[in-house]
Structure 1
Amino acid sequence: MNSLQGKTIILGVTGGIAAYKAAALTSKLAQKGAEVHVIMTSSAKQFITELTFQSLSKQRVYSDTFQERDPASISHIDLAGSADLVLIAPATANIIGKMAHGLADDMLSTTLLATTAPVMVAPAMNVHMYQHPAVISNMNTLAARGVQFIEPGEGLLACGYVGKGRLEEPETIVRVVEDFFARQAVNEKGPLAGKKVIVTAGGTVERIDPVRYISNDSSGKMGFAIARAARAMGAEVTLIAARTDEAPPQDPEISLIRVESAQSMLEAVTSRWDDCDILIKAAAVADYRPMHSADSKIKKSGDTMTLELVKTTDILETLGKMKDSQFLVGFAAETGNAEFYAKDKLVRKNLDLIVANDVSSEGAGFGTDTNIVSIYDAGGLVLDLPLSSKDEVARRLLSLAAERISGVAL
């Protein structure tokens, strides 16, 4: 099956010597049945002509935002709305910077702001430019928003330097685009369609008396993001939530179970364990609880108060021992040595994946909308994610889980 047949691809060509490769790329995409609409920047036209792309794509080429040939439509809006994919190849440091900061001063950058289609970027530039902190920061920003990158190759560059920065070959870019649409076709129902996913969220509450308790700073945001992502991927989702700082996802397709204590969460999870495909324990469960919980409010008396605490049952360890075919994912929220503690926890509790994050890092702590995580399996580091939204972390984590249980790369 040809995954490109009938697809509309906006190909953005920016100003670099690698623009000549975009001609071959246009030809190969068109030969595969794609409808290719080329948008050139003014700098790109210094290297290659509009006529070249028009001849290869059999479509009008765009370069001027204000050159409106059809009074009934606005070109950049029509292009943005019709795209199945926007591909920038070659992508200069300049266009990457514009995308990261939302600038729109030409036909291509304006179309990029207007589109809701997936965006794929194939950078090409001098090796030192590619390694510049500003460029790296801009690429990280775009990656966090879901922009996909086709990494440049290494070798002799046009500037004479040798290193990373050469535009990937057109044949390889076409394969990446084909794989993208093939995955999209498979995932129309969702990569987790038919799977039952349990997600735990929030911080458990261990009662001292009816008005006081022991808890932690977990807000529930990470667990809620995972539940949303799992549902978006087609799973049947059960969300088991303890105390949280915000309302859970308002999705009738997500089954919500409210619990309070570590014991009640354990019971809720284990009662559904046998009928589960994936369990992701994002909740922060208390390690200890008061040995005795008073039936009425404890009155203030004396200058000190002593609480005797006892260990709660370790939910992850319990599930790890019970595990049959289920895929089990844990979290390790640490304030130092996150990698060491995460790997140790992964082995001790028989997990399939563990998500480690240092909650003392800015943007990665409890209550934030972002996170910085490293994901490990028994073989070591699987994925290192820089500062990203919790929704993006959830999507990437669940994609990994889906790949592992299906054996198919997503």
Structure 2
Amino acid sequence: RNYGTITNCYSVGGIEGYSYVGGLVGRNYYGTISNCYSEGDVSGRSSSSGMYVGGLVGYNGYNDEGTIINCYAEGDVSGDENVGGLVGYNESFASIFLDHTVSPIPFSLRNIRLTGTAVPLGSYEMSGAIPLPFNFNFYDTDFSELFISSNGYITFLSGQYVSSARPLPDTYTPNGLIAGFWTYMDPSVGGTIRYQTLGSEGSRQFVIGFYNVPYCCEPGYYPATFEIILHEGTNNIELQYGSTPSITLISVGIENFDGTDGLQVAYGYDVSLNYEGFLITPEGPVERIGAISRSYSTGSVSGTTNVGGLLGDNEGTVYLSFWDTETSGQSSSDGGTGLPTAEMQTASTFTDARWDFNTPVWTIDEGVDYPHLWWELAPLLHAEPEVTLWTSNTISW
């Protein structure tokens, strides 16, 4: 069992056991395994408690924790239940962390109140799905639609509860949101909510505008005017403010899909945003805590129940990970992407998935072999210096 951190390690010997059998670790509880690999064959045998057999780890996670990142397994794996080329059983979930920066920009309302498509909403209501004219990437996920809340925010997730303002991030719903001016608003008694696409393909802007929408329940009661603007290509988020009240509790910012990460631009009472603008810019790399990411397996996999090329059984998160469908003999897996050998030995397969070949973490002899960890090849890639001596020379150490 692993409760700690294992990094830059490997195993080459064959492993045989009953339950929780892995080429490197039998069970990864709260631990982190990174930049590791296993070459040996792994075999499990039946027992009354069931089986979890994996090329690298037999069972990953406990209470949704346990991280495997930048790892691979090459050995053949065999067992009965929950058998996978990399992991037999995964119950670990991932949280997504992505750095963003916010900077002030000039005031520049697009003002689509007369030209945009109206969104009729009442108090504490959420719109139906509104299609986007381009895919917008938010916290490393592409979206083609969004939902508008009457309370001054948008979300990319369906079925989100409409609530009053809270600080960001916050694990309570709603999540996966952009808060332009999150407070208690009632567009049914005044003002208008509109959306419209501006610009030409490649640099379009999708504008969601709230114009003179009042606070709470009376026409003209502390109305607010603001816009949330999504930029094509850059995935920048622009916030523009006209006249806004500074008496209500508001929250402005963004939040990821489980409320574990976000950026607070403004929060509280007496917050003045009149005629201001802000630009929120995503900055990588994405860090996913927990679960399995950027890993692969190539060995043959055999078993009877819950058998997969990469994972036998998966109740958690698998991110940008692969298995070889030809060498594994498995066309399916409960997570990950299966590819033929040729694609598994192609650099673009992994660079397109944002594997790190620059720092580098990985290296590949394209068309000849699968990716390998940079550290394991370091002695070959950094040869010792040569020294040439003539008979009359002396060298001292």
TM-score range, shorter chain: under 0.3
Q: Which has the higher helix share?
A: 1
Larger % of strand: which?
A: 2
* Higher RCO structure (Cα 8 Å, ≥6 apart): 2
Compute the TM-score of the two structures, normalised by the length of structure 1: 0.26
